[in-house]
């Protein structure tokens, strides 16, 4: 068997990550070196990369030393050459390449040193016709530079690859001593052409995973978030940092934009063997802006939408503010129209997430077969608590009403103290409006898919103006 070690030097960036400050409003992703190692390991497990190496040797070379091989009939060292005894060997091939073990070291401000450990077996026919089994050691060193694709995604490009052949041992069969040198020279010439393309294939798979981080992600039927790279990737001794700019768009392609925070986000330090995604307040506000632009924050509340224990008639309203009804008789049903014409405001601080929704509430008498009659209008502010929960690729929100404050905007009868309606309106909002909001918010806030890191089990921390998700590698 053969032990191979391939050292890759990934020239990732010439800067180290910022010291705990997110200067932009983008989504910050800190990917631990363990995740990069997993991505490389999985590329070898899940695809045909290792099998392709075996196929290449067998189908193209038909053995390293056989009649169709490099040293076979007509080859450099074939019969009539320096080592005529080579013709006694036939069909020496790489028959076994076990799954490499991946280990790597990040080099701050420079790149990544990667080692792939594997075992390879060479089989063939010996000089006396018996089975010949050889094992060798080899180091394959490559330099890989980080470029940017035409789509603006990070791309690893193989720049240089060379091999250093180590000890060769005979496991079974007979091989005259002079032929050890021949085998060594042959492997030295052949292995770079066989193993370097495999390294390139591994990088190709990893590049596909890096590319998925910067993509167009739908937000249900409302619109989409396009993730783009804001700056060049940065690197520390433990993680790779990507500053990703989220661009929220409506279905029509219009960009939903909001004012940027006045000061940078102070990001907590990352522990070893963990990966982080920092979701900024800006992204929360733009998603709620998308909901408002699509009318998803508006609702018409009819008696059919509320349970029987929540009153929605003029009789119940008269008990609270009789002056609001004028000459309207009791017993008629009510219709509430909630319209949100201004942006909702999300607050992230003190380990708490809240959403403030400014709304206009029109209250009308409701006759199913008649024309509703306007009674009064209110200016309201709904303050809702937001419970946050991550899934594999999204951050989900669930709202509950904390309080509701109203002021009278206009009345078609007499002026009254609108605060007397707050408890009643709160009950109506809880049973009819908040469930609708939670259904609309079920689309979640998309997270960038960096190397397929799964954040479903991530620890969640609410800091000032951001949410930090941390998952163990």
Task: Give the separation between CA 365 and CA 405, rounded to whole angstroms.
Answer: 22
Q: Residue 197, by phi and psi: left (phi above 0), alpha (psi -120 to 50) or beta?
A: alpha
- What is the per-residue pLDDT for 276? 93
- What is the per-residue pLDDT for 119? 73
Burial tier of 207 (Cβ tally within 10 Å: 0-12, 13-18, 19+): middle
Rounded to whole angstroms, what are the CA distances from 11 to 132, 156, 162, 242, 459? 41, 9, 17, 15, 31
In tens, the pLDDT along 39-93 reads: 888 888 866 777 776 644 433 334 444 444 433 333 333 333 333 334 445 567 7
Mean pLDDT within 126-131: 66
- What is the per-residue pLDDT for 15? 52
Mean pLDDT within 329-344: 90
- What is the per-residue pLDDT for 54? 61
The reply to whether 210 and 269 lie within a common domain is no
> Is residue 269 over pLDDT 60?
yes
Check which CATH number belongs to the domain holding 447 and give it: 3.15.20.10
- Domain of 128 in residue numbering reads as 33-64+84-214
In tens, the pLDDT along 391-446 reads: 998 999 999 999 999 999 999 888 999 999 999 999 999 999 999 999 999 989 98
DSSP β-bridge partners for residue 380: 359, 406
Task: Give the separation between CA 135 and CA 175, rounded to whole angstroms.
Answer: 13
Of 174 and 8, the one with more pLDDT? 174
- Sign, Cα dihedral of 198, 200, 206, 211: negative
DSSP β-bridge partners for residue 387: 398
Check which CATH number belongs to the domain holding 97 and give it: 3.15.10.10
- What is the per-residue pLDDT for 129? 62
**Is residue 428 assigned to a domain?**
yes
**Token pair 């770079």 in the structure block, residue:** 192
The reply to whether 269 and 209 lie within a common domain is no
- Please give the model's pTM, rounded to 2 decimal places: 0.80
- What is the per-residue pLDDT for 78? 36
Share of the chain above pLDDT 70, in %: 83
- Residues constituting the chain: 473
- What is the per-residue pLDDT for 261? 66
The reply to whether 150 and 263 lie within a common domain is no
Task: Give the separation between CA 41 and CA 39, rounded to whole angstroms.
Answer: 5
The reply to whether 192 and 275 lie within a common domain is no
10's tokens: 């990934």
Q: How confident is the model at residue 7 (pLDDT cuts 50, 70, 90)?
A: very low
Of 232 and 361, the one with more pLDDT? 361
> Is residue 218 over pLDDT 60?
yes
> Which has the minimum average pLDDT: 59-63, 245-249, 320-324?
59-63
267's tokens: 């990001």
Of 36 and 409, the one with more pLDDT? 409
**Is residue 284 assigned to a domain?**
yes
Which residue, 248, 83, 95, 102, is CA-closest to 172? 95
- What is the per-residue pLDDT for 235? 78
Q: How confident is the model at residue 21 (pLDDT cuts 50, 70, 90)?
A: low
Burial tier of 139 (Cβ tally within 10 Å: 0-12, 13-18, 19+): middle
The reply to whether 144 and 52 lie within a common domain is yes
DSSP β-bridge partners for residue 407: 379
Mean pLDDT within 278-299: 90
281's tokens: 């307040």
Please give the tally of structural domains in the chain.
2
* Contacts of residue 229, Cβ cutoff 8 Å, sequence gap at least 6: 148, 152, 153, 154, 214, 242, 243, 244, 245
Helix ranges (DSSP H) in 364-431? 422-428
In tens, the pLDDT along 156-206 reads: 778 777 777 778 888 887 777 777 777 777 777 777 777 778 888 888 888
End-to-end CA distance of the chain: 31
Q: How confident is the model at residue 254 (pLDDT cuts 50, 70, 90)?
A: confident
- What is the per-residue pLDDT for 356? 97
Mean pLDDT within 211-230: 82
Interior angle at CA 94, CA 90 and CA 99, nearest 5: 165
**Is residue 161 assigned to a domain?**
yes
The reply to whether 273 and 202 lie within a common domain is no
139 close to 4: Cβ distance less than 8 angstroms: yes
Rounded to whole angstroms, what are the CA distances from 389 to 98, 142, 397, 457, 466? 40, 42, 7, 9, 14
The reply to whether 166 and 302 lie within a common domain is no
- What is the per-residue pLDDT for 277? 92
- What is the per-residue pLDDT for 214? 75
Q: For all residues of the chain together, what is the average pLDDT?
A: 79
């Amino acid at each position: 068997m053969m032990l191979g070690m391939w050292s890759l030097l990934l020239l990732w960036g010439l800067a180290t990550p910022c010291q705990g400050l997110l200067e932009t409003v983008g989504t910050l992703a800190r990917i631990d070196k363990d995740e990069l190692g997993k991505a490389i390991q999985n590329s070898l497990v899940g695809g045909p990369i290792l099998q392709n190496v075996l196929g290449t040797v067998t189908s193209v070379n038909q053995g390293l030393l056989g009649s169709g091989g490099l040293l076979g009939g007509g080859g450099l060292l074939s019969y009539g050459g320096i080592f005529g005894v080579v013709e006694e060997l036939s069909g020496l091939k790489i028959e076994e390449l076990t799954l490499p073990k991946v280990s790597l070291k990040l080099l701050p401000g420079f790149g990544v040193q990667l080692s792939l450990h594997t075992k390879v077996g060479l089989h063939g026919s010996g000089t006396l016709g018996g089975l010949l089994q050889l094992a060798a050691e080899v180091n394959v060193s490559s330099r890989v530079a980080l470029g940017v694709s035409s789509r603006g995604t990070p791309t690893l490009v193989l720049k240089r690859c060379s091999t250093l052949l180590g000890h060769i041992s005979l496991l079974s069969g007979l091989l005259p001593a002079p032929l050890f040198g021949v085998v060594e020279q042959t492997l030295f010439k052949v292995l770079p052409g066989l193993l370097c393309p495999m390294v390139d294939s591994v990088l190709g798979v990893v590049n596909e995973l890096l590319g998925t981080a910067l993509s167009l992600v739908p937000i249900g039927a409302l619109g989409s978030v396009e993730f783009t790279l804001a700056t060049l990737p940065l690197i520390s001794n433990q993680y790779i940092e990507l500053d990703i700019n989220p661009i929220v768009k409506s279905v029509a392609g219009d960009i939903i934009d909001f004012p940027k925070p006045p000061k940078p986000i102070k990001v907590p330090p990352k522990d070893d063997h963990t990966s982080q995604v920092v979701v900024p307040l800006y992204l929360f506000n733009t998603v709620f802006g998308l909901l408002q632009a699509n009318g998803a924050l508006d609702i018409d509340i009819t008696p059919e939408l509320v349970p029987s224990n929540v009153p929605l008639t003029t009789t119940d309203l008269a008990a609270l503010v009789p002056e609001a009804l004028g000459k309207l008789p009791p017993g008629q049903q009510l219709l509430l129209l909630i319209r949100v014409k201004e942006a909702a405001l999300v607050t992230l601080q003190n380990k708490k997430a809240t959403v403030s929704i400014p709304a206009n509430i029109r209250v009308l008498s409701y006759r199913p077969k008649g024309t509703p009659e306007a009674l009064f209008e209110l200016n309201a502010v709904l303050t809702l608590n937001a419970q946050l929960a991550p899934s594999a690729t999204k951050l989900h929100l669930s709202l509950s009403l904390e309080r509701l404050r109203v002021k009278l905007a206009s009345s078609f009868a007499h002026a009254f103290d609108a605060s007397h309606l707050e408890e009643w309106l709160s009950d109506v909002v809880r049973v009819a409006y908040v469930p609708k909001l939670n259904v609309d918010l079920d689309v979640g806030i998309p997270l960038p898919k960096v190397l397929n890191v799964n954040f479903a089990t991530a620890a969640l921390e609410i800091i000032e103006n951001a949410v930090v998700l941390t998952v163990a590698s």
